[in-house]
Amino acid sequence: MLVWVRNLMSSWVARGFFGLLIAVFVLWGISNVFTLTGGSTTVAHVAGQPVDMAAVQAAYQAGLNQAAQNGQAQPDLATRQQIAGQALAQVLRKQVLAQEAAHLGLAVPDDAVRQMLDNIPQFQTNGAFDKTKFTQVLAQNNMSPDQFIGDVQNDLRNRQLLGPIFAGVQAPDALLKPLFTALAQQRFASLVQIPVAAQPMPAAPDDAVLQRYWRNHPDQFTAPEYRKIKLVILSPALLAPHEQVAQADVDAAYARAQASAPSVPARSVQVLSVGDLASSSRLQAAWKKGASWDKMQAMAKSYGASAIVLDHATQTQIPNPSLAAAVFAAQPGAVVGPVAGDTGMYVFKVTEAGQGGPDEAALKAQITQQLQLQKAQADVAQAVDAVQDALAGQTPLDQLPGNLGLTAVEGTLDANGNTPDGTPAPLPGGDDLRQAVLKAAFAAHQGDPAQLTNGPDGSYFALTVDQVIPPALAPFAQVRGKVLAAWTADAQSREAEQKAADMFYAVNHGQALPALAAAGHESVTTTAAITRDGQPPAGLDSQFVSVIFSLKPGEATMVQTATGFTVAVLSQVVNPTPEQDAADYAQLGQAMTKLLQQDIGGSFLDGLQQRDKVNVNQKLFSQLYQ
């Protein structure tokens, strides 16, 4: 029922506090900037302690690798600067939190690190920690054992530091109940539709009335400027479908494509992203007992977890490296987890193991088209000189040689590419070529000689304007039928609007909508439940929802629709209680608690900022992303 709540409980909330940490450092972490001199590799100081450029460089490279996996192989300067800023914020965050942990005397026992490593499935063989597998998995993810163990220690130390801060945070009922009421409230409205087309036809007017309407609405009856043109196009895209390609060439190109891009392993997997170890363990236990995926999705909501399905994903397409390694090490059908991630834990089941790669028939068809296009491009390059020579010799467009691969058209059109009867002109080629031709046609003058013009995608075209037909108000006799239709529709629209206005006024002055509708031979319908974030009734726009939630019971509103007018009366308001919808109320409580934790986390970081002065060598830092 509460779509807003479910959206709030999706992945962005699950990322939680650590996303906030990065955001806060992006905002204030590079304040107090000064420039250092010399060859120092210190990119920043936190409370007087140096931060080496190498740490930021490593985080920046990891960000670039992630961007490449997401399809940004060569990010622009603005994106590189953003990635660099996030990398710097990540390193500074670790430094500040580490110093606070040291200040409080927090330590991570080796046994705790060992226990966490022992519980990571991708490091196990037959349920026991395997050092060889541990080293292999880390090598596949470009990470050293010391680096990974350091990250584990930081994670455990940060849990000790931040856990007590969040432990007592709970959204109070005084906050939740009014918010829940506002979000969950349902409203019902009684509607009367008054279509324009259903209104009685007015008496036929005389020509004097129609002529006055014709003069008063010239925009409806004025034809735009038209141009009669001759056009020839030399385009690889138009020529390619007619090119003949040898099957042997297609087969050879297909073999080369297979050799350069072999199929890779792919997995289909169901994943639960969970915020903490205890919740993930309970979900794993239920799943291992045979719970269906539908049931697991429902259970995940009660734990504030997110359910995700990945279909035929390669290892690089799974965004979290730890999860990716575990997925491709797992046996299909087995429930695996919890697996530690950057912002929580994962529990998953591989539903299918296969190979990813292009379909043979589709790839051969694509290769054929590419070879046809290459051949057409070569033919166009050979024909260009001949066309230019012919145009230089004043050869009319309709007398150019027929063996040059030209596409020729002739006709009358306006600046929007429409013919006088209102239909699109049949200009060959795609939208870009069409727009280039229209622009050239309405920039040329009548009688100008044809010139070969470069078009999009390696195409060429030449045109002449044979006649310019200026815009003009169409003669009344020519458009009388159109004027009569417009006048009639206008009269019916005024009649419908007057009926709706009278009904709207009467309801707001105490009369009942059903009685008014019956008197006007109209029917009353009742909407389904309307919520603040829900869809409006059919035929009405989203603004109608806002209006309904501004009314008191019994009040009316009047709106214009695509087909007429609607009078709506707020007939019922339902305020669900937390007891009636305990699950959604609990989800709202979890979401608001997480938001409060984020606010407290922000305040905590502000306090650290006041204590630890963060200074950045901006000149050295900018060299990272230039």
pLDDT in the model for residue 260: 67
What proportion of the chain, given as a percentage, has pLDDT over 90? 42
Specify whether the backbone of 539 is left (phi greater than 0), alpha (psi in -120 to 50) or beta: left
Residue matched to tokens 């297609």: 250
Task: Identify which of 397, 335, 406, 416 has the alpha carbon closest to the alpha carbon of residue 376.
Answer: 406
Widest Cα–Cα separation across the chain: 99
3-class secondary-structure state, position 153: helix
Query: Residue 250, exposed/middle/buried by CB under 10 A (0-12, 13-18, 19+)?
Result: middle
Residue 188 has pLDDT above 90, yes or no: yes
Residue 42 has pLDDT above 80, yes or no: yes
Q: Could you tell me the pLDDT band of residue 189, with boundaries at 50, 70 and 90? A: very high
Query: Residue 380, exposed/middle/buried by CB under 10 A (0-12, 13-18, 19+)?
Result: buried
pLDDT tens digits, 522-567: 999 999 999 988 888 988 888 999 999 999 999 999 999 999 999 9
Which H or E element spans position 382? helix 360-392
Distance in angstroms (rounded) separating the CA atoms of residues 62 and 60: 5
Q: Could you tell me the pLDDT band of residue 1, with boundaries at 50, 70 and 90? A: very low
Distance in angstroms (rounded) separating the CA atoms of residues 92 and 46: 8
Residue 30 has pLDDT above 60, yes or no: no
Distance in angstroms (rounded) separating the CA atoms of residues 302 and 305: 8
**Could you give all domains of the chain from N- to C-terminal order, each with its CATH number?**
3-170+586-622 (1.10.4030.10), 186-220+477-574 (3.10.50), 225-243+383-470 (3.10.50), 262-357 (3.10.50.40)
pLDDT in the model for residue 496: 95
Q: What is the mean pLDDT of the chain?
A: 86
Higher local confidence (pLDDT), 358 or 505: 505
Distance in angstroms (rounded) separating the CA atoms of residues 21 and 28: 11
Q: Could you tell me the pLDDT band of residue 28, with boundaries at 50, 70 and 90? A: very low
Residue type, 342: D
C-alpha torsion angle, residues 149, 153, 154, 160 (rounded to 10): 160
Region 83-105: mean pLDDT is 86
Q: Other C-beta atoms within 10 Å of 239: how many?
A: 23
The answer to whether the beta carbons of residues 234 and 450 sit under 8 Å apart is no
Residue matched to tokens 């297909």: 254
pLDDT in the model for residue 525: 95
Distance in angstroms (rounded) separating the CA atoms of residues 574 and 139: 59
pLDDT tens digits, 293-320: 989 988 888 888 888 898 888 888 887 8
Higher local confidence (pLDDT), 341 or 420: 420
Alpha helices of 429-575 — where are they, by DSSP H?
431-441, 476-507, 513-519, 542-548
Of the listed ranges 320-334, 408-422, 438-452, the one predicted with least confidence = 320-334
Task: Identify which of 65, 62, 59, 64 has the alpha carbon closest to the alpha carbon of residue 29.
Answer: 59
> What tokens appear for 439 in the block?
């622009």
Beta strands 556-560 and 525-526: pairing type? unpaired
Residue 622 has pLDDT above 80, yes or no: yes
Residue 16 has pLDDT above 60, yes or no: no
> What tokens appear for 512 in the block?
């009942």
Q: Exposed e or buried b for every residue in 527-550, given b needs 16+ CB within 10 A?
A: beebbbebebbeebeeebbebbee
Convert 548-611 into a string of H (helix), E (strand) and C (coil). Answer: HCCCCCCCEEEEECCCEEEEEEEEEEECCCCCCCHHHHHHHHHHHHHHHHHHHHHHHHHHHHHH
The pTM assigned to this predicted structure is 0.48
**Cβ neighbours of residue 314 closer than 8 Å, sequence gap 6 or more:** 264, 265, 266, 356
Residue 34 has pLDDT above 70, yes or no: no
pLDDT in the model for residue 218: 93
pLDDT in the model for residue 253: 85
> What tokens appear for 193 in the block?
């539709």
CA-based angle 392:397:400, to the nearest 5?
80
Residues comprising the chain, all counted: 626
Q: Could you tell me the pLDDT band of residue 158, with boundaries at 50, 70 and 90? A: confident
- Distance of CA 364 to CAs 260, 261, 264, 312, 361, Å? 15, 14, 19, 22, 5
Q: Could you tell me the pLDDT band of residue 359, with boundaries at 50, 70 and 90? A: low
pLDDT in the model for residue 433: 94
pLDDT in the model for residue 442: 96
pLDDT in the model for residue 230: 96
Q: Could you tell me the pLDDT band of residue 461, with boundaries at 50, 70 and 90? A: very high
Query: Residue 164, exposed/middle/buried by CB under 10 A (0-12, 13-18, 19+)?
Result: exposed
Of the listed ranges 37-41, 279-283, 320-324, the one predicted with least confidence = 37-41
Query: Residue 191, exposed/middle/buried by CB under 10 A (0-12, 13-18, 19+)?
Result: buried
pLDDT tens digits, 321-335: 888 889 998 999 999
Sheet holding 335-340, edge to edge: 306-313, 264-274, 345-356, 335-340
pLDDT in the model for residue 357: 61
Region 582-603: mean pLDDT is 86
pLDDT in the model for residue 424: 94
Residue 9 has pLDDT above 90, yes or no: no
pLDDT in the model for residue 23: 43
Region 129-138: mean pLDDT is 88
Residue 504 has pLDDT above 50, yes or no: yes
Region 190-203: mean pLDDT is 94
Residue 24 has pLDDT above 60, yes or no: no
Cross-strand partners of 567? 192, 558
Residue 73 has pLDDT above 70, yes or no: no
Residue matched to tokens 């669900």: 576
pLDDT in the model for residue 559: 94
